């Protein structure tokens, strides 16, 4: 007779790939889902979790976080790893981090989550300053892979390259079967709708890329918000076979306040945010926005980072000589809602996933905001699981995750539907979070074959990912199998 390491009892089990949505039990053994059936005898399990009146879904996968930032945000290593686990994540992708900072964070305050990283590209720090040759770009991408990263992240809104260099980075990453993500913007376009308009020409007919936070380009900087949403969706549809994408659902954004010696803001994102409310794109404009409560910066506590505004915010801004994280309440609820729910004529989501763009940043609200959309009627529960687990797993090529069926990894997130947030999380059958309290430790690094030697040298467990199976390369395959669908309608 079978014996289970853990039995999850009486939960509403929701699996988007199979369309399964029933109250039942889940038996877990050796890190895998061994049995899904009703009335499994609890005497057969070493431990049990009572999931009565709760939702049991495949572990939430966040394809856009920042937990090992180049700037080493926060003095306490690993804060972001704790924060994502507390929010219900089981697997995360750091979109633009340092492998050294990531491994140090896992050692110091790992939470048990699986984590992959994309190497960040910053002129003068991780890449040479000045124009880059194709040979230099090949070496940069190869170096990121050898360090253990899954690929690279282009931060066009902060460190833009020329259109030619941007296209070369994407094509080179594609040639090497590396993951490549893009915060839009080049020296010829901004981190706005114009940057998104430029993407088809950067990709040509063969390029493949993950476009980050689509809603960040629909803030009304060029057209009316609703018109920017329409155009963004049209662009994504026109290059659907070449891109994957995500939307974040938090109201505040996060950016970098650094100014030059003349007091002018350096990041295009910050300038856009200030101009939206008629502040000058300068250090004095930031100070005025902080005093007015429109802008915030970050202060560290023992367990997390918090937003600070007013005079204390100005003090922190000046103490950091302007080189501090900034936040503005610019993410439009209308764009986030419609971009998340929008489907094409084949009844497929146009934007693939919900990603927080959080981690260390205090806005890990994927589950909370998605549950609000379910309660509103914009998403069915099976569709929510598609956006939070199944599609993110497909985006990275994680064939054993994102599903809650027998034989798959026992990465599980349990949600309290009344509170609208995660109550338990498991990775490989082991509890990492209980009612918001992180109990996991360590972690597993997701890497490629080229990164195995570097990751093994850290002593941290790892899993090799075959990125040829990632959605941007392998295609979407079979989509959502749920029966009832809601289309976003813009008037």
Q: Tell me: the pLDDT tens digits for 226-281?
A: 999 999 999 999 999 999 999 999 888 888 899 999 999 998 889 999 999 999 99
Q: Tell me: the pLDDT tens digits for 370-421?
A: 999 999 999 999 999 999 999 999 999 999 999 999 999 999 999 999 999 9
Instruction: Select from 469, 485, 473 the least CA-distant residue to 402.
Output: 469
| Domain edge (last residue) among 295, 311, 329 | 329
Position 314 in a domain: yes
pLDDT value at residue 2: 77
3-state helix, strand, coil in the chain (%, to 5): 35, 30, 40
Confidence of residue 1 (pLDDT cuts 50, 70, 90): low
| Domain edge (last residue) among 276, 311, 329 | 329
pLDDT value at residue 69: 65
Measured CA distances, 40 to 22, 28, 172, 423, 432 (Å): 14, 11, 51, 22, 24
What mean pLDDT comes out for the span 347-357?
97
Quick one: 354 and 309 in the same domain?
A: no
* 111 contacts 91 by C-beta, under 8 angstroms: no
- Parallel, antiparallel or unpaired: strands 353-354 and 179-183: unpaired
3-state secondary structure of 63: strand
Rounded distance between C-alpha atoms, residue 413 and residue 367, angstroms: 10
Q: What are phi and psi of 62, to 5 degrees?
A: -105, 110
Position 448 in a domain: yes
* 18 contacts 403 by C-beta, under 8 angstroms: yes
* 16 contacts 389 by C-beta, under 8 angstroms: yes
For 65-111, give the DSSP string: EESSBTT--SSSTTHHHHHHHHTTEEEEEEEEE-HHHHHHHHHHH-E
Query: How many residues are recorded in the chain?
Result: 491
Strand order of the β-sheet with 305-308 is: 255-256, 325-327, 296-300, 305-308
Position 458 in a domain: yes
Position 132 in a domain: yes
Position 3 in a domain: no
Q: What are phi and psi of 381, to 5 degrees?
A: -55, -45
Rounded distance between C-alpha atoms, residue 21 and residue 305, angstroms: 37
Quick one: 295 and 336 in the same domain?
A: no
- Looking at 169-315, which runs of residues are DSSP E strands? 179-183, 209-211, 243-247, 255-256, 296-300, 305-308
CA within 13 Å, CB half, 346: 11
pLDDT value at residue 485: 34
Host H or E run for residue 228: helix 225-238
Q: Tell me: the pLDDT tens digits for 132-168?
A: 999 999 999 999 999 999 999 999 988 999 999 999 9
Rounded distance between C-alpha atoms, residue 391 and residue 353, angstroms: 6
* 200 contacts 167 by C-beta, under 8 angstroms: no
Quick one: 283 and 369 in the same domain?
A: no
Residue 304 scores a pLDDT above 90: no
Quick one: 284 and 143 in the same domain?
A: no
Confidence of residue 76 (pLDDT cuts 50, 70, 90): low
Rounded distance between C-alpha atoms, residue 121 and residue 159, angstroms: 8
Residue 491 scores a pLDDT above 80: no
Position 347 in a domain: yes
| Domain edge (last residue) among 329, 349, 382 | 329
DSSP 478: S
* 444 contacts 114 by C-beta, under 8 angstroms: yes
Residue 51 scores a pLDDT above 70: yes
Position 174 in a domain: yes
Domains held by the chain: number: 2
Measured CA distances, 27 to 37, 206, 399, 430 (Å): 8, 44, 20, 13
Residue 64 scores a pLDDT above 50: yes
Quick one: 266 and 158 in the same domain?
A: no
Position 46 in a domain: no
Q: How distant is the alpha carbon of residue 313 from its chain centre?
A: 27
Quick one: 219 and 364 in the same domain?
A: yes
Confidence of residue 16 (pLDDT cuts 50, 70, 90): very high
Q: Tell me: the pLDDT tens digits for 180-210?
A: 999 999 999 999 999 999 999 999 999 999 9
pLDDT value at residue 303: 66
Quick one: 84 and 131 in the same domain?
A: yes
Structural domain containing residue 279: 253-329
pLDDT value at residue 428: 98
Residue 73 scores a pLDDT above 70: no
pTM: 0.90
Residue 72 scores a pLDDT above 70: no
pLDDT value at residue 361: 80
Quick one: 320 and 235 in the same domain?
A: no
Q: Tell me: the pLDDT tens digits for 94-142?
A: 998 899 999 999 999 999 999 999 999 999 989 999 999 999 999 999 9
Quick one: 307 and 369 in the same domain?
A: no
Residue 77 scores a pLDDT above 90: no
Look up the CATH number of the domain holding residue 92. 3.20.20.140
Quick one: 215 and 350 in the same domain?
A: yes
Quick one: 291 and 310 in the same domain?
A: yes
Quick one: 87 and 160 in the same domain?
A: yes
């Amino acid at each position: 007779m079978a014996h289970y390491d853990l039995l999850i009892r009486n939960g509403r089990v929701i699996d988007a790939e199979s369309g399964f949505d029933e109250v039942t039990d889940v038996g877990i053994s050796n890190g895998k889902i061994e049995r899904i059936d009703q009335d499994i005898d609890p005497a057969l399990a070493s431990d049990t979790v009572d999931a009565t009146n709760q939702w049991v879904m495949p572990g939430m996968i966040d394809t856009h976080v920042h937990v090992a930032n180049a700037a080493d945000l926060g003095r306490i290593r690993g804060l972001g790893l704790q924060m994502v686990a507390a929010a219900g994540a089981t697997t995360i992708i750091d979109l633009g981090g340092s492998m050294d900072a990531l491994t140090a964070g896992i050692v110091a305050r790992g939470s048990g989550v699986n984590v992959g990283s994309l190497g960040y590209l910053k002129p003068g720090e991780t890449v040479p300053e000045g124009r880059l040759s194709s040979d230099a770009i090949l070496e940069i991408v190869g170096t990121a892979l050898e360090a253990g990263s899954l690929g690279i992240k282009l931060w066009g809104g902060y460190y833009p390259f020329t259109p030619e260099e941007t296209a070369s980075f994407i094509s080179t990453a594609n040639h090497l079967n590396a993951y490549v993500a893009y915060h839009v913007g080049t020296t010829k376009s901004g981190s706005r709708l114009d940057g998104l308009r430029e993407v088809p020409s950067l990709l040509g007919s063969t390029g493949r890329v993950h476009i980050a936070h689509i809603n960040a380009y629909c803030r009304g900087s060029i057209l009316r918000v609703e018109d920017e949403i329409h155009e963004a969706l049209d662009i994504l549809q026109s290059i659907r076979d070449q891109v994957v994408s995500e939307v974040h659902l938090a109201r505040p954004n996060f950016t970098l306040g650094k100014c030059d010696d003349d007091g002018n803001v350096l990041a295009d994102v910050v300038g856009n945010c200030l101009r939206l409310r008629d502040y000058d794109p300068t250090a004095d404009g930031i100070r005025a926005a902080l005093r007015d409560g429109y802008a915030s910066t970050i202060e560290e506590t023992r367990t997390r980072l918090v937003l600070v505004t007013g005079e204390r915010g100005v003090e922190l801004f000046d103490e950091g000589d302007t080189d501090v994280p900034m936040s503005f309440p610019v993410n439009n609820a209308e764009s986030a809602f419609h971009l998340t729910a929008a489907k094409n004529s084949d009844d497929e989501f146009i934007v693939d996933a919900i990603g927080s763009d959080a981690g260390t940043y205090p806005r890990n609200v994927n589950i909370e905001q998605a549950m609000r959309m379910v309660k509103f009627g914009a998403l069915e529960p099976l569709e929510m699981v598609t956006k939070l687990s199944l599609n993110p797993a497909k985006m990275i090529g994680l064939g054993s995750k994102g599903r809650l069926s027998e034989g798959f990894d026992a990465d599980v997130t349990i949600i309290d539907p009344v509170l609208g947030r995660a109550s338990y999380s498991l990775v490989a059958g082991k509890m990492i979070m209980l009612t918001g309290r992180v109990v996991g430790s360590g972690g597993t690094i997701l890497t490629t074959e080229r990164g195995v030697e570097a990751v093994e040298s850290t002593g941290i467990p790892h899993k090799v990912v075959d990125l040829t199976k990632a959605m941007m390369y392998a295609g979407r395959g079979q989509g959502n199998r749920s029966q009832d669908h809601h289309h976003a309608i813009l008037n």
